[in-house]
Structure 1
C-alpha cells in the first residue's frame, strides 16, 4: 500500500533527528559526506528508528545541495551524496517495508542574502533529480522559514514528479510565519500548489507546535504533518542539549493527532526513544476526520503616529533640503558636540545625521545622542543603523527603542568590518544585509515583527539607503539602488563626491529613479586628510587635481582648510543645480566648515530666486 493510501485511514509515525544523533557521536564535519565515507553510521541510525516503530524514514540529505555543500568544498559531489543517501535508506527500510522520503532542506533563514532565488532553484532541482533517480517513496521539504522559497520550489518540483510531496514550514512564533502569514493560510496555499502533505517542523517544541495547530483547519485534500523539536534548546558547557522526556513526547503526539495531524515525527533533539514513545501512544488511534476550529480574536494593529514634520524623502522633492553629518564623539565629553549640533540647527539644516560607530570605532550611542538632540534641543536626528554590531535580536530591540523615542529617520547600512576599527578582534555580526534590514524595517512599518508576530502598532520609519557613486562601473551601483528601492528604500544618501564630472555622471545615471538623492559633499581639512581619504577609506576617491590643490598648502593648516572649503563650494555649484538634497559631511567636528557651506548654499538659492531661475532638479531626484 502506498504512503497516501495508508494516511487515508492511519496516523503514521516518522523518524526523528539524524543530525542530533550524529552530533552526540562527536561528528563535527559535513553530515551528508557520511553517506559515502561512513554509510554504516547512517544505516545504523535508520535501523534504530525503524526498530523504534517509525513507519517512515528520511534520507540523510537535508543539506545535500550545492549551495550548502560549498561550505565544505563538496558542491561537486551533490549528485553522489544524494544518490548514496537514498540507497542507504532503502536498504535499511526494505526488510520492514518502511517508506523512504528524500529530504530537501530550506536554504534561506530570516534573510534572503544567503542565496538568490534562481541559484536556490538550480541547486534544489539538481538535488531533487538525484534523489528521484533512486526511486524514493516521496519527497520531504522541511525547515523552510522563507515562504517564497518554499512555494517557488514546490511549483517546479510538482512538475517533476507524481510522487507524494511533503512541505513543512518553520515558525519563530506559534501559528505565524516570519512574513506575518498565518500557519493556516500558509498550509492552504501549499495544498493549492500541489503539496500532498503540509505541516511544520523544527524551531518549536511539542507545546508550541500543538498550540500552532489549534487554529489550523483540516485540509480538503492534503494531510497534516508535524515534526516538533524535542523541546526548546539549551546550552551546557558549550554543547546544545534538549531537555525532554520521551513519555512527554508521546503524550504530545496524541495531542497532535487530536488536532488533525496524521504524520508525526521529530526534529532537533528527538531520538529513537521519542519516536518509540510516540508510536506506542498513537497505537490504535484512528485519524481525526472532523475538527472544529474557533479562531482567536485577531490582534488589532494600531496605525502609526503621523510625524509632526514630513519625511525627508518628501521634503526634498519640494524644496532645497540640507542634512549634515556630525558623528558623535569617541569620548564621554559631549559638550562640543552639543554646541556644534545647536549651531548647525540654527544655520537652518533639516536634520543632523549620526553614524553608527563609523569605521568600526566605538562612539557615544547615536540612539542616546539622537534622543538628547530631539528632546532637549528640538533638533531632528537621522540615525544610521549598521548590520555589523547587532544580531537580529539587537536590531529589532534597537528599532523598537528608536520608535519609542520618536526617532523615525534612519539610514540602513552594512557597516565597516571590525578589522578596520579600534577592535580588530571584535566580531562582525551581519545577520542580514542592508537590503534585508530595509525590508525588515518596512515590515515593522506594517506592524509585524521580524519573527512575523503582530506588533500591536505600526512603526513609522522613513528609511534612507547608502549609495557609493565612487565606483568604476556606475551602472552596477545604480542597479543596486534599484534593488534597494524594491526593498523599500525611501531615499538615498551618497558617499562624498569630489569631482564635478562625477556629480554630473551621478545625475545622468539616476535621474530615472523615483526616489530622491542627497548628494554627499565633504570639505577637506588638509593634504594629509585628502591622502588618507583617497588611499585608505573604502568608497572614496579624489581627483589628481584635488590632491594637488591640497598638497600645495600642506604646511599651512589654515590655508589648507580654506582651500578645502573652496573645493567644496565649487562642487556645490554643480550639485545644487542638479540635486535638491545636499548632504554635508562634517570632518573632525569642524562644524564651522559645514556652517560656511550651508550659508553658501543658501546664498546660491537666494540669488537664483532673485533672478527668477527655477531649480532644474527633477522630482525624481
Structure 2
C-alpha cells in the first residue's frame, strides 16, 4: 500500500533533520558527498529516525544537484551521489518505512540569482537519478520562490505518477516572500499536481501553526508540516538549536487540529523530536473539517516626518539642466574642509552633493552621517551612494531604512570596488547582492515591503540612480546593462568620468533611445601623474592619449597643470550640455575650488543656452 493511501485514514510521521545531526557530529563539508564516503553514518541516522517512529524517511540529497554540488567541485557526481543516497535509505527502511527522494530549492532570498532554465536542467538531472534508483515518492522542500517550485513540480508531475510532496518556506506568517497568500500558493501547487502540500524550515511550531490557522483543507491534496526546532543560536563558531522534544510533543495535537496528515521536522530536529510527534499522535485519526482563521488586513499608514520634501533628482534633470557634485567624505575625522567645500558648492547653485560609500574600498566617515549634516546644516540635497560590498542583505535593508528615516531619499546603487584594492586588502567583500538586485530591493521598499516580503508599515520614496561605465570594449553591452537596470527600477544614471568629446557623442548615440536621464561624469585633472594614474590603475576610467599628452606638457608646473585640467573639463561641459541635461562633477582630493568653478561655468553655459541672465560669479581661481 502506498503511503498516500494510508494517509486517507492515518496521520504519518516523517523524519527530521539530517544536516543538523551531521553538523553536531563535527561534520562541516558537503553532507551529500557522505553518501559515498561515509554511508554507514547516513545509514545510522536513517535508522535512528525509523526507530523513533518515522513512517517516511528522506534521502540525503537535499543539495545533490549540479548547481549546489559545483561549489565543492562535485558537479559531475550527481548520479553517483543520488544513487548511493537511495541505496542507503533503502537499506535502512527495509519494510519499516517509505523512502522519499528529496530535492531542495535553489532560489532563496534572491529569486533572480539563478535562472529558471538553469534550475530546470539541474532539477531534471537529479530527478531522473532518484526515480531510476527507486524511491516511493518525492519531497520538494524549502522553496522560498513559488515560481521555482511550480516549475519543478510540473516537470516532476509529467515524469512520474509517484506521490509528490511540495513544501514552501516562509519569511513571514501566512505569506510568501513575493506576497502570495499561503492559501493561494497551496491552491496553485495542488493545481500543478502536488499530492501533499505544506510548510517546512524557517519557522518553528508556533509561527507555522499561526500560518496553518489561515489554511483551508485542500480539496484533493493533504497537508504537511516540517517545523524547525527553534531559531538557531551561534555559539563558539557553531550553530546551535535549543528547541526541546517536549515542546514538540505539546505542538503535535495542534498540528493535527489544523489538518496536518504528514508531520516531520526540519532544521534542529532530532530523533527525539520525531519520537515526541509519533508517541503523541499514535492511533489518532486525521481531522476532516476545520475552522479557518482569516488574516487581518494591515493598513499602511504614511507618517509625515519622513516624506520627501523636494522632487526626485530624476524629475529635476528631466525638466532642466542639472549639476551635481561628488565630494568624498574625509578619510580623517576633521570635517572642516569638507563643509567649507559643501557650502561653496551650495553657493555655486548645484542641485545635489553626492557622497561616495568608501570609494576604492578605503574607509571614510560614513556618508549617511555627513549627508544628514549637510541637509540639516546647509539645506543642501545629499545623494548617498550605497555599495553592495560592505553590507549583507540585513545590513543593506537596515541602512536603507535608516537613510529614509533621516530624510535622505536620493541614493545611487553601486557594486563597489573590491576590498583588496583598498587599505585593508584582507577584509571581506560581502556582495550578497548585485547592483541590479540592490535597485530591485530599494524599489520594493518603495512599495512598503522588505526584500523578504514583510510589510514595513510605510512606503519609502527613494529615487534610485544607477552607475554607468561607458569605458568598456563594447558600449552596446554597457547600454544593455542600463536597460537591465531600468527594468530593475533605476530612475536615472550617473556615468564614470568622460575625457573626450568623441566619447560623449558615442554615448549619446548609443543611449538616445533610453528615456532615463544620464548625468555625465566630468572630473578635472590636476596633474600628468593624476591623469596617468586614473587611466592605468583606477577601474572604470579611461583617458584619451591626446588629453594625457596635454597634461604632460605641464608635468613640472602644478598650477598650470591645474588650469589645463579645468580648461579640458570646461570644453567637455560645453559638449556634454549640448547632448545631455545632467552634469556630474567629481571633486579630486577635496579640491572643491575646482568643482566650484566648474559649477559656475556650467550655470553660465546653461544661461547662455536658455537666454537667462542669472548672476554668475566669474573665475574664482
- Show structure 2 runs of 5+ residues with no match: 613-621
Q: Give me the TM-score of the superposition, normalised by structure 2.
A: 0.95
Contact 1:331 1:364 in 2 (8 A): yes
- What is the match of residue 99 of structure 2? 100
- What is the match of residue 81 of structure 2? 81
The CA deviation at 1:580 is 1.0
Contact 1:382 1:410 in 2 (8 A): yes
The CA deviation at 1:382 is 0.6
1:241-300 per-position Cα deviation (integer Å, ceiling 9, x unaligned): 111221221222222111111111111111111111110111122112111122132111
1:315-464 pair list within 5 angstroms: 315-464=316-465
1:51-108 per-position Cα deviation (integer Å, ceiling 9, x unaligned): 1111111111111111111111000111221122122222322332x22111111112
Q: Secondary structure at the match of 1:9?
A: coil
Alpha-carbon distance in 1 for matches of 2:252, 2:498: 63
Alpha-carbon distance in 2 for matches of 1:576, 1:117: 43
- What is the match of residue 207 of structure 1? 206
1:491-502 pair list within 5 angstroms: 491-502=492-503
The CA deviation at 1:114 is 4.1
1:54 pairs with 2:50: no
- What is the match of residue 254 of structure 2? 255
Moved more, 69-78 or 481-490: 481-490
Moved more, 171-180 or 397-406: 171-180
The CA deviation at 1:599 is 2.2
The CA deviation at 1:190 is 2.0
Q: Give me the TM-score of the superposition, normalised by structure 1.
A: 0.95
1:506-531 per-position Cα deviation (integer Å, ceiling 9, x unaligned): 22222222321111111111111111
The CA deviation at 1:113 is 5.8
Contact 1:107 1:114 in 2 (8 A): no
1:218-367 pair list within 5 angstroms: 218-303=217-302, 307-367=308-368
Q: Secondary structure at the match of 1:382?
A: strand
1:12 pairs with 2:12: yes
Change (3 A) 1:303 1:118: farther
- What is the match of residue 616 of structure 1? none
Q: Secondary structure at the match of 1:131?
A: helix
- What is the match of residue 186 of structure 1? 185
Alpha-carbon distance in 2 for matches of 1:313, 1:11: 59
Contact 1:521 1:568 in 2 (8 A): yes
Q: Secondary structure at the match of 1:95?
A: coil
Alpha-carbon distance in 2 for matches of 1:530, 1:272: 67
- What is the match of residue 39 of structure 2? 39
Alpha-carbon distance in 2 for matches of 1:19, 1:276: 18
1:282-322 per-position Cα deviation (integer Å, ceiling 9, x unaligned): 11221121111221321111358653322111221121111
Alpha-carbon distance in 2 for matches of 1:103, 1:25: 22
Alpha-carbon distance in 2 for matches of 1:313, 1:118: 35
Alpha-carbon distance in 1 for matches of 2:516, 2:611: 29
Alpha-carbon distance in 1 for matches of 2:76, 2:219: 41
- What is the match of residue 576 of structure 1? 577
1:538-549 pair list within 5 angstroms: 538-549=539-550
Alpha-carbon distance in 2 for matches of 1:541, 1:275: 63
- What is the match of residue 618 of structure 2? none
Alpha-carbon distance in 1 for matches of 2:511, 2:230: 52
Q: Secondary structure at the match of 1:422?
A: coil
Q: Secondary structure at the match of 2:8?
A: helix
- What is the match of residue 91 of structure 1? 91
Alpha-carbon distance in 1 for matches of 2:160, 2:586: 58
Q: Secondary structure at the match of 2:117?
A: helix
Moved more, 68-77 or 32-41: 32-41
1:325-378 per-position Cα deviation (integer Å, ceiling 9, x unaligned): 111111111121111111112211111110111111111111111111112211
- What is the match of residue 614 of structure 1? none
Alpha-carbon distance in 2 for matches of 1:320, 1:602: 9
Alpha-carbon distance in 2 for matches of 1:19, 1:300: 40
Alpha-carbon distance in 2 for matches of 1:486, 1:158: 33
Alpha-carbon distance in 2 for matches of 1:356, 1:205: 38
Alpha-carbon distance in 1 for matches of 2:500, 2:193: 57
Alpha-carbon distance in 1 for matches of 2:479, 2:155: 32
1:116-138 per-position Cα deviation (integer Å, ceiling 9, x unaligned): 33212211121112112223222
- Matched positions, count: 610
Change (3 A) 1:566 1:152: farther
Alpha-carbon distance in 1 for matches of 2:280, 2:448: 41
- Show structure 1 runs of 5+ residues with no match: 612-621
1:135-163 per-position Cα deviation (integer Å, ceiling 9, x unaligned): 32221111122233223322333323232
Runs (4+) off by over 4 Å: 303-306
Contact 1:58 1:101 in 2 (8 A): yes
The CA deviation at 1:466 is 1.0
The CA deviation at 1:601 is 2.0
Alpha-carbon distance in 2 for matches of 1:166, 1:304: 44
Alpha-carbon distance in 2 for matches of 1:237, 1:276: 29
Alpha-carbon distance in 2 for matches of 1:261, 1:484: 44
Alpha-carbon distance in 2 for matches of 1:169, 1:156: 17
Moved more, 414-423 or 152-161: 152-161
Q: Secondary structure at the match of 1:588?
A: helix
Moved more, 378-387 or 306-315: 306-315
- What is the match of residue 141 of structure 1? 140
CA RMSD of aligned residues (A): 1.7
